[in-house]
Chains A and B, each alone.
Chain A
Amino acid sequence: MNFMLVAQTVVSLALVSGALAVIISIADKVLNNYGECKLDINDGQKQLTVTGGSSLLSTLAGEKIFIPSACGGKATCGLCKVQVLSGVGAGQVLPTEEPYLTEKEKADNYRLSCQIKVKSDMQLRIPEELFNIREFICELTAMEDMTYDIKRLRLKLPPGDEINFKAGQFVQLYTKPYGKVREEVFRAYSISSKASEKDHIELLIRLVPDGLCTTWVHTALKVGDQVRLSGPYGDFYLRGDCEELIMVAGGSGLAPIRSLVYDVIEKGLPHKMRFFFGANTVKDLYYIEEFTQIEKEHPQFRFIPCVATPEPEANWQGETGFVTVALDNQVDTGENKEAYLCGSPGMLNACIKILKAKGFTDDTIFFDEF
């Protein structure tokens, strides 16, 4: 008897929900079928042919264009703004979007991409940075020791693919499970190669004791391996609204600065540059010859490596002491200068304190902390 009742309940519910599911899927096929739609992004920079019927946010994500969204498409975070210039939905702000759009944004055709369904061809404008954030499966083509604990990785993008980044930005590197670590983790690393070289990137990775990602890089990763990364991210890039750039880096913080220096030189920008590179000992120094060479060829650039406690046998001729001391002695005022810092939080805070005392402000100090 009980068994019959359970069986009847299960079968009835299955039939009812099955029937409703069939009705909904038929309705979805018939009513929600908008065929193929063409999306034109940033005036032809990218053209996509997609299947209509889903929200713009999820359609773009399906094409690996990731618009930030914290709420997952419920119109409660207001992050997924894009400009919709033409197509169904252009200029038609829904009541759900009202609270998140300013008058100026409405006038500029901004919409929340989670609230628009793709129903026709559309012209969109997406901020350059977001548009460029993508996932790349790269091949590790070279790996060499720069110091005893810093490795340089050269990652080649798939043939024909390219990464558009601003010098100073970073990528996220995803590990594969190794050893006792079962889960994938990702960490951010600044790109050290030139922004003009778009078919590959280079990263400088220092071995952090017990660091999940750095240990993977230093012990498990081999040349020829496939590496997944996403990017570029970050707002650490050249502003250049000044005459001189003061750059300070410690350890692997050299990476974004190297990219920035090459960017200024390759673009022929007039800025003077001074690069203070801090290391604990002489064996922590690297890229010294390269930067000394740049200094010789380009008078606008000066390279000031500082070693805190040089080994007696190394016969160190350069600045001795913390990088902050050299910074304090050699930079007089913050006038017409911008500072770009990358290093450990301790080093950054000490530098920021010194720079602020010299007249630098939050608007002229840019830093990348790790």
Chain B
Amino acid sequence: MTSPISPWIIFLASIITSNMILANFLGMCSYLSVSTEYKTANGLGMAVTMVLLLTSAINWLVYTYVIIPLDLVYLQYIIFIMVIAALVQILEMGMDRFLPDLHAKLGIFLPLITVNCAILGATLFQVIRNYDFLQSVLFGLGSGLGWWLAIDMLAAMRERLAKVKLPPGVSGPAIAFIITGVVAMAFIGFSGIFVIQ
């Protein structure tokens, strides 16, 4: 029984109302630690988007054609994690070989991404919600773009804040949490548009 929601609604919802960071708070560690510089944050966002898109597609195939037929649902977490790790590894090697400039910009973030919970989160969401292939791919892409949007916003604000004198009690990671909270609340305002979770 696949989900009846239109893939395009899923795509938009995963960017705005079901944003990985602002609604689900997934992938917070790299979101907070790599958001002090806009340029670097942008690279990480791009890399996360790419990996999310690919893992959503591949993990859907693995789930549908390996895990379900072989009745391995109880092992799905381990299998998903291994697939993600292997994929990231291969992606890194391939990028280093054929797209060295791109690799220099975002390839170095790839090892970081393996342990980003947003990646596994997206895969598990699509399984729980019974998405079909197109729904999964667009969900992965949308989640990635949403994550990218969120880290870009935070990095842009933190870069500006770095030039301002803040009260010592809120400087550093504290202000990043406060900003994230405020932005997340602002995103609740979108929640009337469409709901997928």
Contact = CB atoms under 8 A, between A and B. Distances in A.
Interface of A: 9, 12-13, 16-17, 20, 23-24, 27-28, 31-32, 88, 92, 94-96, 115, 117, 119
B61 to A, nearest CB: 13
A42 B66 CA distance: 54
Given A20-B82, A20-B83, A32-B93, 7 more contacts: A12-B72, A24-B90, A28-B93, A31-B93, A31-B97, A95-B37, A95-B105
Contacts of A17: 82
A96 B70 contact: no
A16 B86 CA distance: 11
Given A13-B78, A16-B79, A95-B43, A31 B70 contact: no
User: Which label, helix, strand, loop or mixed, suits the secondary structure of the A interface?
Assistant: helix
A193 B108 CA distance: 48
Given A9-B75, A12-B75, A20 B40 contact: no
15 contacts: A9-B75, A16-B66, A16-B79, A20-B82, A24-B86, A24-B89, A27-B93, A31-B94, A31-B96, A32-B93, A88-B100, A94-B104, A95-B40, A96-B108, A119-B96
B129 interface: no
A20, A23, A28, A119: residue with the most chain B Cβ atoms closer than 10 Å: A20
Interface size class of B (residues with CB under 8 A): 20 to 34
Contacts of B160: none
B90 A16 contact: no
Interface in B85-109: 86, 89-90, 93-94, 96-97, 100, 104-105, 108
B49 to A, nearest CB: 17
Contacts of A27: 89-90, 93-94
Interface of B: 37, 39-40, 43, 66, 70, 72, 74-75, 78-79, 82-83, 86, 89-90, 93-94, 96-97, 100, 104-105, 108
Contacts of A16: 66, 75, 79, 82
B78 to A, nearest CB: 7
Contacts of B96: 31-32, 117, 119
A146 B25 CA distance: 72
Contacts of A28: 93
Contacts of B43: 95
Nearest to A115: B108
Contacts of A117: 96
B3 to A, nearest CB: 26
A88 B101 CA distance: 11
A12 B43 CA distance: 37
B157 to A, nearest CB: 20
Nearest to A33: B97
Contacts of B89: 24, 27
Contact of B108 (A31, A32, A95): A95
Contacts of B93: 27-28, 31-32
A92 B43 CA distance: 16
Contacts of A31: 90, 93-94, 96-97
Contacts of A23: 86, 90
A28 B83 CA distance: 16
B133 to A, nearest CB: 21
A355 to B, nearest CB: 45
B75 A13 contact: yes
Contacts of A92: 104
B2 to A, nearest CB: 25
B108 A94 contact: yes
A20 B97 contact: no
B66, B70, B94, B97: residue with the most chain A Cβ atoms closer than 10 Å: B97
A32 B98 CA distance: 10
B36 to A, nearest CB: 10
A9 B94 CA distance: 32
A187 to B, nearest CB: 38
Contacts of A13: 75, 78
Contacts of A88: 100
Contacts of A32: 93, 96-97
Contacts of B82: 16-17, 20
A16, A88, A92: residue with the most chain B Cβ atoms closer than 10 Å: A16
A12 B70 contact: yes
A20 B81 CA distance: 11
